[in-house]
Amino acid sequence: MIKQAWTYSLAALAFCYVACDSGQTAGSSMETENSIAVLVQLADGTPAASMEVLVRPESYLSGASDLGSDSLYQLRFETDEKGRVVLTDVPSGSYVIEARSDVKNLKGFEKIAYVEADTTTPLTVEVSEPSKVSGHVGLPQLIRRSATVSVQGLDYQVPMDSTGYFEFESLPNGNVEIVAFVNDEEKDSITEYGRIAMNVGGQSGEGELYLGDSAYVKKYFVFDDFENGIASWVPTASKNGEVKVNADSAGFGRKGLVAHFVCKRDSAAEWDWALIGRELGGFVDMSELDSIRFWARGSVKSRISFAFDVLVNTDSVTSADNIKSWRHFEVDTAWTRYTVVPSELDTADSNGGNVGWDAVKKRVTKISIFGAMGTEVWVDDIEVFGYGIFDPYAPVSKKSALKKSDSKKKD
């Protein structure tokens, strides 16, 4: 557990009102006692005028305290034409002083341990173009859905998606601590689930930042990023359909290789289908699956389906002998990240042999991706959460194999 992040009262932060309401011109004096003289500049030393300057206790954690959020926006100053501002009557403490301008797309911050007995403390804040930061939090779904990711001492906070993925679009460069936590308002408590120190601007790469329960984070692996080609993926189509697959280097914005498959229809039959599938080497118990995330795009706006297949007849490799649990997604021509969560899969029905997740989760033999007929589909970076790896050699009951009569035709 961590304490409420905002521990300073408004009275203790009255210096903001002195600077803002006393009529003092920002930067008019750099010799005021008990003050912090801030100079904001670019990397080349050029003064940064008209920059917003915000002051917060270093203990501040955005989203962790209503009081902190309410008070935050009163602690604002602005630099003069020479990039200067004087913060007066500052009580002793540790602060984060940030300068930023959304219009100029410039941000920067510095941390300072200030002692009130000091006469005037000079501080230079360098601003530059902000950076994007993304990563994962290793938390179970129930916790993840209510968790927040914030930057210690700054007012940046984002939610995470169903896989624990989070993304800050615009963070100031420098050394920060990123914190994942849940704020329980009913119990008036905050539980911290992980934090990580990083140098924003000094390290990058989507998906490289992980924090949270270390044991849970290990339950993650890349099922396929297609950098080794598509040899493990087998194309299959109905009698009147056709599918071709290859590894495409023209990822249209994605780096490296991606899977590319073309679905063709040779008749007007509505039940024609085409897919690419990857065998798991045996029955896999996916009862503990948290989620699967992947990227996809289409040649046109259409539908794709992500399926967990079970071979009913283990002597057959044809798709017609599969039952499945699946979910459909609308794809566009732009790359989009999709998340497959077991609880969000289609309920059992007669459509395409869909028997529901509970019927297949302990005996999955293949993962398949269906494409709409007459379209092209590109897929990349399939990631699994909840497993370190799929183990097809784990003991499986003989009852896992269903009878052939349980199979249903695909539409």
Letter for the amino acid at 1?
A: M
Question: Are residues 193 and 228 both part of a single domain?
Answer: no
408 is a domain residue: no
7 is a domain residue: no
Task: Tell me the pLDDT band of 11, cut-offs 50, 70 and 90.
Answer: very low
pLDDT at 141: 67
- Whether 309 shows a pLDDT value over 70: the answer reads yes
What is the average per-residue pLDDT within 344-365?
Answer: 91
41 is a domain residue: yes
pLDDT at 18: 35
C-alpha to C-alpha distance for 311 and 317, rounded to whole angstroms: 8
pLDDT tens digits, one per residue of 116-145: 766 678 899 999 999 998 887 777 666 777
Question: Are residues 254 and 169 both part of a single domain?
Answer: no
Q: 87 has which bridge partners?
A: 36
399 is a domain residue: no
100 φ, ψ (degrees, to nearest 5)? -155, 155
CA distances from 114 to 67, 95, 96, 111, 317 (A): 23, 8, 11, 10, 71
**Residue in the structure block whose two tokens are 């539980």:** 191
Question: Are residues 156 and 236 both part of a single domain?
Answer: no
Question: Are residues 235 and 338 both part of a single domain?
Answer: yes
- Residue where a domain stops, chosen among 107, 126, 145: 126
Q: Are 131 and 103 in contact (CB under 8 A)?
A: no
Question: What percentage of the chain exceeds 90 in pLDDT?
Answer: 39
Enumerate residues 6+ apart whose C-beta is below 8 A from 315. Answer: none
Question: Are residues 162 and 95 both part of a single domain?
Answer: no
In terms of residue numbers, what domain contains 196? 131-218
**How many CB atoms are located within 10 Å of the residue 138 CB?**
22
pLDDT tens digits, one per residue of 152-201: 999 999 988 777 788 899 999 999 999 888 877 666 778 777 788 888 98
pTM over 0.85: no
Question: Are residues 142 and 93 both part of a single domain?
Answer: no
39 φ, ψ (degrees, to nearest 5)? -115, 120
Letter for the amino acid at 66?
A: D
The CATH number of the domain where 78 resides is what?
2.60.40.1120
Question: Are residues 119 and 135 both part of a single domain?
Answer: no
How many residues are present in the chain? 411
Higher per-residue confidence, 65 vs 146: 146
- Whether 360 shows a pLDDT value over 90: the answer reads yes
- Whether 296 shows a pLDDT value over 80: the answer reads yes
Question: What's the structural domain count of the chain?
Answer: 3
Question: Are residues 156 and 76 both part of a single domain?
Answer: no
410 is a domain residue: no
Task: Tell me the pLDDT band of 218, cut-offs 50, 70 and 90.
Answer: low
Question: Are residues 236 and 88 both part of a single domain?
Answer: no
Question: Are residues 97 and 184 both part of a single domain?
Answer: no
Instruction: Please state the three-class secondary structure of the chain as a single string.
Output: CECCCCCCCCCCCCHHHHHHHCCCCCCCCCCCCCEEEEEEECCCCCECCCCEEEEEECCCCCCCCHHHHHHHCCCEEECCCCCEEEEECCCCEEEEEEEEECCCCEEEEEEEEECCCCCEEEEEEECECCEEEEEEEECCHHHHCCCEEEECCCCCEECCCCCCEEEEEEECCEEEEEEEEEEECCCCEEEEEEEEEEEECCECCCCCEEEECHHHHCCEEEEECCCCCCCCCEEEECCCEEEEEEEECCCCCCCCCEEEEEEEECCCCCCCCEEEEEEEEEEECCCCCCEEEEEEEECCCEEEEEEEEEECCCCCCCHHHEEEEEEEEEECCCCEEEEECHHHCCCCCCCCCECCHHHHCCCEEEEEEEECCCCEEEEEEEEEECCCCCCCCCCCCHHHCCCHHHCCCCC
Higher per-residue confidence, 10 vs 16: 16
Question: Are residues 74 and 208 both part of a single domain?
Answer: no
What is the average per-residue pLDDT within 207-228?
Answer: 67
Question: Are residues 261 and 384 both part of a single domain?
Answer: yes
5 is a domain residue: no
- Residue where a domain stops, chosen among 94, 126, 158: 126
Q: 94 has which bridge partners?
A: 113
Give the β-pairing of 364-371 and 302-311: antiparallel
State in Å, rounded, how far the first CA of the chain is from the last one: 52
The CATH number of the domain where 232 resides is what?
2.60.120.430
Task: Tell me the pLDDT band of 68, cut-offs 50, 70 and 90.
Answer: very low
398 is a domain residue: no
